[in-house]
Structure 1
Amino acid sequence: MASVEECRAAIGKVSDRISQVDESRRRKHIMDRTVSVTVSDLATVFDMRLDMAGLVGITDRPVDPAAKRAQVRITVSSDDLVELAEDRLDFAKALLSGRIKLDASLGDMMRLRKLL
């Protein structure tokens, strides 16, 4: 099981990868969105925003069902989050196999699919 710090570093890697995508492609596929990543085995939620700079304003908190819901919500284990960030796990395959749960509008899912 990965630690909270390793998960934060993994999210940072994903953010770096997003910021390295060609600016015209980012403009086409990124809309300012609130994002939460629930790390199920750590009972921790990372809240952030997705914008042209990547994932910004990353904070962590304990799971709280009463908390305000993000526009894009991802649930994943700590190890899978680290594997995703290191490109050892394919996002689409993990989603289809149930290793990742994604809760977002259809439009957001389509834009994210094209970006990642």
Structure 2
Amino acid sequence: MASVDECRQALQELAARLDGNAEAVREHVGLDRTLACRITDLGAAFHGRLTDGQLVDLADGDDPKAKIALNTTSDDLLALVRGELDITRAVTSRRVSIKANPLDLMRLRKLL
């Protein structure tokens, strides 16, 4: 099981990666949505905003009103960010759940 700090670091790495490709991401994924990432095995959560191809305002804690919510375990989060776990397989096997409206899910597929 990964630690809360490792999960936070993984999300910060993802944010940095998106920031480095913000223009390309923005071109494919035109979202401006609040985002919550809930780590089920740690009872921890993080929240931020996906906007202009970037993940910004990343902070500890849940956002129950987030428009996009990702639920996963700590190890699966790290594997997703490292590219070791395919998001489609993770969702279909129920290792990861993503709650969002259907149009946002279609846009997110381009990002993930």
TM-score w.r.t. length of structure 1: 0.87
- How well do the aligned residues superpose, as a CA RMSD in angstroms? 1.7
Q: Distance in 2 between matches of 1:22 and 1:103?
A: 23
Q: Secondary structure at the match of 2:27?
A: helix
TM-score w.r.t. length of structure 2: 0.90
| Deviation at residue 24 of structure 1 after TM alignment | 4.7
CA contact (8 A) 1:30 1:50 kept: no
Amino acid at match of 1:44: A
1:83 and 2:95 correspond: no
Candidates 99, 103, 112, aligned match of 1:103: 99
Q: Distance in 2 between matches of 1:15 and 1:22?
A: 10
Q: How many residues align?
A: 112
Identity %: 38
Q: Distance in 2 between matches of 1:55 and 1:48?
A: 7
| Deviation at residue 53 of structure 1 after TM alignment | 5.2
1:46: which partner in 2? 46
1:16: which partner in 2? 16
Distance 1:44 1:25, change over 3 A: closer
Q: Secondary structure at the match of 1:42?
A: coil
Distance 1:53 1:111, change over 3 A: closer
Q: Secondary structure at the match of 1:6?
A: helix
| Deviation at residue 103 of structure 1 after TM alignment | 0.4
Gap runs ≥5 in structure 1: none
Q: Distance in 1 between matches of 2:24 and 2:60?
A: 31
Gap runs ≥5 in structure 2: none
